[in-house]
Homo-oligomer: A and B are copies of this chain.
Amino acid sequence: MTMKLKHKHSRKAGLPPGTLVHIGEKKSDAVTITVYEYGEGQFQERSVAKPDEVILTGEPTVRWVDVGGIHKMEVLETFGKMFGLHPLLLEDIANTDQRPKLDDYGTYGYVVLKMLYEGQHEGDINVEQVSLVFGENYVLSFQENGGDVFQGVKERLRNGKGRLRHAGADYLLYALMDSIVDRYFVILESLGEKIELLQDVCVTNPGPETLRDIHALKRQLLYFRRSVWPLRDLMNNLSRSDGQFLQGSTKVFFRDVYDHIIQIGDTVETLREMVSSMMEVYLSSVSYRLNGVMKVLTIITTIFMPLSFIASIYGMNFEHMPELKSPWGYPAVLGVMAATGLAMLYFFKQKKWL
């Protein structure tokens, strides 16, 4: 889904609450389910065809189930039964029009956030909703398409480097959220570059398409802020919560992500102010050009109107116009005209209109 505001919620209006209806773009591709089971000395990665095969014998320290595709309702319902999830939570996973939030369901928690990544066409920003359900020793992640944002986490799990394999499910939750938030910086950077490009255009060559670009940027920033800002409270709550899942040593990491969100929020505000300034520059650049056009118009009119008037006087057909008979009349009039024109030019030079 590219960055557009769609309110597909209405499809559900009238249905009983808790009804599972996938709200998003209908897709026909299959759902991919990958299970990662790991602990202090173990690691296993399995691709699974049906949700029933997720839990086999043998309980690992941490189990991460990564689900790509949320359009198959029966899959979600099976997960709901297996992990004892609330119907409203399943409804939230299926509805891709969610606002980022954190819900505490007692024995498990639910986080929904927006994953942003650049699309194939330049300037496109793709949005994907990611739902994370986390319990004492498991994390379930639901993506719309199964993008590659979690690729880094998976690599680190596979090669066993860093803290990840030795820590609990709470650290895995952190790693997943951190990898999503890190992507925001990439998007922000590309937005910043677009703004700097547009700023030059505003001064040198403003046109109606500049205006459209400014407003497109404004809307993208608006959407970006909407996606990121709710994470602030969310991360704050996570880093301060006394939940049973989060260990004290992990909280400092969530606080770090919180700091990143604050920093992103600051930068977004700065970019928004820059876009507003840009609008001002655009408008005053257009009006400055209008001014320039007006000056040329005025100068032409002001110089030629008196000259033409003089010429038209001597174009009158009165019988008694003594100047007409004088042999010096013509050159004298031409001289007067030249003098008038030059005086005008001098006047404009002084007024700084030239």
User: Which residues of A pack against B, CB within 8 Å?
Assistant: 5, 7-10, 12-19, 86, 88, 97-99, 101, 103, 151-152, 156, 161-164, 174-175, 178-179, 182-183, 185-186, 188-189, 192, 203, 205, 208, 211-212, 215, 218-219, 222-223, 226, 252-253, 255-256, 259, 262-263, 266-267, 270, 273-274, 277, 279-291, 293-298, 300-302, 304-309, 311-321, 323-327, 329-330, 333-334, 352-353
Contacts of A296 in B (CB 8 A): 298, 302
Q: Would you give 14 A-B contacts (Cβ < 8 Å), ordered by A?
A: A13-B186, A14-B179, A293-B353, A294-B294, A297-B301, A300-B302, A301-B305, A304-B308, A311-B313, A316-B317, A317-B317, A317-B321, A319-B327, A320-B326
| A16 with B291: CB separation less than 8 A | no
Contact of A5 among B192, B285, B330 (CB under 8 A): B192
Q: How far is the CB of A168 from chain B (nearest CB, A)?
A: 15
Contacts of A8 in B (CB 8 A): 189
| A18 with B294: CB separation less than 8 A | no
Most chain B CB atoms below 10 A, which of A9, A12, A219: A9
| B99 with A262: CB separation less than 8 A | yes
Most chain B CB atoms below 10 A, which of A7, A283, A285: A7
| A308 with B297: CB separation less than 8 A | no
Q: How far is the CB of A185 from chain B (nearest CB, A)?
A: 4
Contacts of A253 in B (CB 8 A): 17, 88
Q: How far is the CB of A202 from chain B (nearest CB, A)?
A: 10
| A218 with B277: CB separation less than 8 A | yes
CB nearest neighbor in B for A296: B298
| A291 with B289: CB separation less than 8 A | yes
Q: Is chain A's binding surface mostly helix, strand, loop or mixed?
A: helix
A-B pairs with lowest CB-CB distance, top 7: A311-B312, A314-B316, A7-B189, A16-B162, A9-B185, A13-B182, A318-B330
| B186 with A10: CB separation less than 8 A | yes
| A101 with B327: CB separation less than 8 A | no
CB nearest neighbor in B for A287: B286
Q: How far is the CB of A68 from chain B (nearest CB, A)?
A: 19
Contacts of A294 in B (CB 8 A): 290, 293-294, 297-298
| B291 with A286: CB separation less than 8 A | yes
Q: How far is the CB of A314 from chain B (nearest CB, A)?
A: 4
Q: How far is the CB of A28 from chain B (nearest CB, A)?
A: 25
CA A186 to CA B101, docked complex, whole Å = 23
Contacts of A12 in B (CB 8 A): 182, 185
Contacts of A88 in B (CB 8 A): 252-253, 256
Contacts of A305 in B (CB 8 A): 300-301, 304-305, 308
CA A286 to CA B174, docked complex, whole Å = 51
| B318 with A316: CB separation less than 8 A | no
| B316 with A311: CB separation less than 8 A | yes
CB nearest neighbor in B for A291: B290
